[in-house]
Structure 1
Amino acid sequence: MTETHILEEIAELLAASRRPLFITGAGISAASGLPTYRGTGGLYADGVNEEGLPYEEVLSGHMLQARPELTWRELARMACRLAHARANAAHRAIAEVPHAVVLTQNVDGLHLEAGSRKVIEIHGNLRELHCTTCTHTRPAGDWERLPIPPLCPQCGAVLRPGVVLFGEPLPRLAVEWLEEELARGFDLVFSIGTTSLFPYIAEPVALAASAGVPTVEINPERTAVSHLVDYRLRGDAAALLPRIVAGAGARGG
């Protein structure tokens, strides 16, 4: 079957869908100029940063406590890239899908910028900074002007963004929202630009597959859920998703 025929089949499924779920990872933002972390061309394709430290260690809650300047250097570098990024055609295509729910690992806010309304940011976001000691909270503002690490103006403790670092629990409200949406069920599940290594990212795909719900993966490399999906596309999400969504619209979706 040609790619065109596969895209047409997926578009038909999307046109008929009333509860689609889009699971997204760093790969969907690649066309916005944001590098992924794992995989070919990733920031840490070999598992370590330029100093030879595993990025899971650098971007961990433990490292933030022990050496906040090290963690903050990576956070600031990431945030400065995000500040100049804009939603791409893949984000905008998803935003056009009625009733779509987005489960994203990304902290870049590009789904919200594109206009998606139901966005579960399971790893938090970079929009606010919180004191690690007191209750002080403030907008992140201009990351390029922040000292490393930034300190709380009230108590002098280190500030941190509202993102989930390695070794930390997921945000309670986001987890509860995801559980509620999963309990309601989905009739079509997309996995886009993610290696699906985290159980809570792979689980919705596995649940859908076991229930006979159609599943689609868009990712250049094989992932932890590639063997489960009904349709596997290896192309660029920014090129493929607009074609799928446009095809669904042409069918009255």
Structure 2
Amino acid sequence: MDEALRRVARAIEQAERILVITGAGLSADSGLPTYRGLGGLYNGHTAEGLPIEAALSGPMLRRDPALCWKYLAELGKACLGAAPNAGHLAIAELQRRKPGCWVLTQNIDGYHRAAGSPGERLIEIHGELAPLYCQSCGAEDSELAEHLQRPLPPRCRQCGGVLRPPVVLFEEMLPEAAVDSLYGELRKGFAVVLSVGTSASFPYIVEPVLRTRQAGGLSVEINPTLTDLSDVVDVRLAGRALDVLPELLGHISSDRICK
């Protein structure tokens, strides 16, 4: 893998614009469950016999907020109980070195921000878990941890309405601002795109990889397992992000970086 690492490092050194796409695999290295691992849901169904996609959906939040929040709370507790790992920190350091480096993440845990990734170059396409806001009056509530210790669903202190996180649940639309930001940057093009810890099951995750490769840029996958992108990318670095990314960063010479 050393030669492949060096190839990617050289491309990053020379690139002005880089996109890092991150998925659940990156945060799994921090101990977070994926949706299908939530609360031991290894068969993809809840204790109520529902697909996890149905339990964590916008319609379920409206119809049975306590049930939806049962699994939102599992996610919230997991996120609050873990922290960014070496992969998140390496990405933040890459962004520090390369002002044209953007992050597109499917993750909702906020670990990129916690690791130091600048908010103005971070696209959280599925939103984030905090702060909560009231679906009735719109009031904001930053006390996620406190609410998770109380009966669910959490209620607004001002009007008693059900609170929710600014996260994209199943069957909900992506946030317009995030989509606009993504496609605005895609129109400018990227010289290197890194797909990190994602199975690439969404078109808006696959498209940046395909666009970059078609335009002559370098497409890279970092993942311990094969995905739908594995046969499409120029370089595949097999391994966990928290191992591969710091090693990759070590191959990038600061004094040769093109800013």
Q: Same fold (TM over 0.5)?
A: yes
Q: Distance in 1 between matches of 2:143 and 2:235?
A: 40
- 1:97-246 paired onto structure 2 within 5 Å: 97=94, 98-99=98-99, 100-117=101-118, 118-142=121-145, 143-246=147-250
Task: Tell me the SS of whatever aligns to 2:173.
Answer: coil
CA contact (8 A) 2:39 2:74 kept: no
Residue of structure 1 equivalent to 2:256: 252
* Cα shift at 1:67: 1.0
Residue of structure 1 equivalent to 2:73: 76
Q: Distance in 2 between matches of 1:137 and 1:220?
A: 39
CA contact (8 A) 1:36 1:42 kept: no
2:19 to 18, 21, 26: 21
Q: Distance in 2 between matches of 1:137 and 1:152?
A: 9
CA contact (8 A) 1:140 1:161 kept: no
Residue of structure 1 equivalent to 2:33: 35
Q: Distance in 1 between matches of 2:185 and 2:41?
A: 32
CA contact (8 A) 1:126 1:140 kept: no
* Cα shift at 1:43: 5.4
Task: Tell me the SS of whatever aligns to 1:191.
Answer: strand
Q: Distance in 1 between matches of 2:212 and 2:188?
A: 12
Whichever residue aligns with residue 50 of structure 2, its letter is L
Residue of structure 1 equivalent to 2:7: 9
Task: Tell me the SS of whatever aligns to 1:200.
Answer: helix
Q: Distance in 1 between matches of 2:79 and 2:253?
A: 31
Task: Tell me the SS of whatever aligns to 2:251.
Answer: helix
Residue of structure 1 equivalent to 2:56: 59
Q: Would the alpha carbon gap of residues 46 and 249 (structure 1) be closer, same or farther in structure 2, given more than 3 Å must change?
A: farther
CA contact (8 A) 1:12 1:251 kept: no
Q: Distance in 2 between matches of 1:7 and 1:51?
A: 46
Task: Tell me the SS of whatever aligns to 1:162.
Answer: coil
Task: Tell me the SS of whatever aligns to 1:163.
Answer: coil
Q: Which 5+ residue runs of structure 1 have no aligned equivalent?
A: none
Q: Which moved more, 1:238-247 or 1:226-235?
A: 226-235
CA contact (8 A) 2:33 2:78 kept: no
Task: Give the alignment's Cα RMSD to 1 decimal.
Answer: 1.9
Task: Tell me the SS of whatever aligns to 1:22.
Answer: strand
Whichever residue aligns with residue 127 of structure 1, its letter is A
Q: Which 5+ residue runs of structure 2 have no aligned equivalent?
A: none
1:90 to 68, 71, 87: 87
Whichever residue aligns with residue 108 of structure 2, its letter is V
Q: Distance in 1 between matches of 2:47 and 2:189?
A: 43
* Cα shift at 1:27: 0.5
Q: Distance in 2 between matches of 1:151 and 1:59?
A: 18
Q: Distance in 1 between matches of 2:39 and 2:218?
A: 29
Q: Could you list the per-position Cα deviations for residues 221-242 of structure 1 after superposition, in whole angstroms to 9, with x for gaps in the alignment?
A: 2222222101112211100001
* Cα shift at 1:55: 1.1
The percent identity for this pair of structures is 47
Q: Which moved more, 1:28-37 or 1:165-174?
A: 28-37
* Cα shift at 1:49: 3.1
CA contact (8 A) 1:37 1:45 kept: no
CA contact (8 A) 1:15 1:251 kept: no
